Amino acid sequence: MKPAPMVIAGTVIGLAGLLSFNSTAVKVSLGALPAATAPPGSTAPPTTTTTAPRAGGSTPPPTTVGVPTTTTTAVPSVARSATGAAVNYSFGVLSVKVSVSGTKITNISIASIDDGGNPRSAYIDQASLPLLEQQALSAQSANIQGVSGASYTTAGFDQSLQSALSKLGL
């Protein structure tokens, strides 16, 4: 057999396979994240006042200078916990529970997960969720790298974690 008919036959078979391939777009609903708010009990920074002696020896009334001073708000070091919103991550629904002491995240766990009984999704979740929990504990925030091959699970975990941290005021 000559090479040209083999090339043409291979091209036709490949083109037929390509045209018969059906794909659908995956819809990811991450929803809107809550707006950032000031922590409870915080106010605008106070300004300082200064006085300078006059040449005649008298002291003028204090004048206000627009330089803010630093104030610190004590965060109670009471152990608190919150559960994040249940997030649909296209392959199921999950929510994250966060425990904190003061401003330090002490524990992150999965409060609930429903992957619809899909064995592949369950496998991905079982492999990726412990890694995501560890990344969030190390970062002490929802600013995590994620897990390759588990993009949807990572997005759902991150959104629920951010929701829990917002409830705790972090």
The total of other beta-carbon atoms located within 10 Å of residue 123's CB is: 11
Domain 75-170 in CATH 3.40.50.2020 = no
Residue with tokens 């609903």: 29
Q: Is the dihedral of CA 88, 94, 123, 130 positive or negative?
A: positive
Residue ranges covered by each domain of the chain: 75-170
Instruction: Provide the pLDDT for residue 79.
Output: 87
CA distance 22 to 4: 30
Chunked mean pLDDT (size 10), the chain, 170 residues: 79 80 55 48 47 52 52 65 92 92 91 88 90 93 89 92 91
DSSP 141: S
pTM of the model: 0.55
Amino acid at 106: T
In the three-class reduction of DSSP (H, G, I as helix; E, B as strand; rest coil), residue 101 is classed as strand
CA distance 97 to 49: 46
Cβ(142)–Cβ(166) under 8 Å? no
